[in-house]
Structures are given as structure tokens and as C-alpha cells.
Amino acid sequence: MKRSIKFYAAAAVLLGLAAWPNHAWSQQDCLKLKKVWTSYDAVQQGKSLEVNVKFDTQNCTVSVEYGHNKAFLSSASDGGLNLRETRVDYEKVNRGSPVLQSRELQAVFYVDAPADVDPGQHQVSAVVEYVAIDSHGTITRQQHPFQVPVNVVAQNAHVKKHYRGVWDNPWNLFWEIPMFIAISPVLLVRYMTWDGC
């Protein structure tokens, strides 16, 4: 039975990943920090904060694999804060290549501020570990350390919520609903007069 070139290429990459030593981390960096999003502008003492960090790839892709080859996030230094429920999501996945490859990563985690942590600016340090494939097909395990500034305030202090998009913000409904009502007659007329052409 004939095997395609894609099959052998995928097998070679997978065998290379399986045989790669766990400690062989490269100092090269495939990732570039793109955006940091937090659920609030600050975290109150005794409360938690959701953090999303997006990375773009530069002249490379990140291998989407299983087991110990999957990208993961580890805490390097918490500055008195606690990190939990860490994960790394793959975005912009190229499914046409022999091995699934991603051009964007998103690190998601929660920061817990203990009730006795000092208010003020803190730095949360973490490391994304992943398998990179460059434009020549060379496979390297890489690490990308990064820091996220987190402002800790008193338990009763006011914090401002950050919204992901238009529909996540309930205040936008005050604009969206009247706009929908205004254009509904136009849509209805177009539907009634549509002849299917």
C-alpha cells in the first residue's frame, strides 16, 4: 500500500517529538506578545482575576500535539499572588499541513489575591513552554517567559470590569435593541418582496 508524502512527513515529525529529551529547551523564541486582557482593572484582596495573554508566532508555527508535547503554562514567580486553572489554547490552526500547527497561542489563568496580600502593583511571572517548527521544518522545544502587571486594591475598593466584546457588555443592549427595532420594518419588507432571485 502506497503512503503519501504527507504521511511520512507527519510520521517523521511525530517521531522527532517523541524522541526529544524533556530537558532540551531552546533559548530561541518563536512567540511574540500580542495582547494582555484582564477581567478587571484591578483585583481586590481576597478575590480573583481572570487573565488572557495572546501570542503571535514569528517565522514559525507551534505544533499542536498531545501528551507531554502539548504547550503548557507554568508559574515562575507569583509576587505574593496565586495562579490557578492555567491552560494554553491554540488559535489559527493550520489543518492542511501534515502535523497540526498553530500561528497563535492564548494563555489563560486566574490570579488569586490572598486577603493579607499588600495592596499595590504586583508582577505575575509565568512561562509558556511549547514545541516550535520553523520555516525549514526544524523542531525545537522553546520557552517564552512573560510578566503581567496586576494591581491589588483593598477589599472594598471599586474595580472596573473589562468586557471582551460588544455582546459581553450589557450596556450595549440599550443601543442594539432600538437599532434592531428600527431596521425590522425594512427587513420585513425585503423578505415579503423577495422573489428568490
Least confident of 87-96, 164-173, 179-188: 164-173
Percent of the chain scored above 90 by pLDDT?
44
Best CA proximity match to 71, nearest among 155, 125, 143, 173: 143
Q: What pTM was computed for the model?
A: 0.68
pLDDT digits (tens, 9 = 90+) for 137-154: 888 999 999 999 999 999
List of domains in the chain: 5-160 (2.60.40.10), 163-197 (no CATH)
Q: 66 — phi, psi (to 5°)? A: -115, 170
88: how many CB neighbours lie within 10 A of its CB?
20
List, as own/partner pairs, every contact residues 1-6 make where C-beta atoms lie below 8 angstroms and the sequence separation is at least 24, other chains included: 6/98
pLDDT of residue 135: 85
Say whether pLDDT at 195 is over 80: no
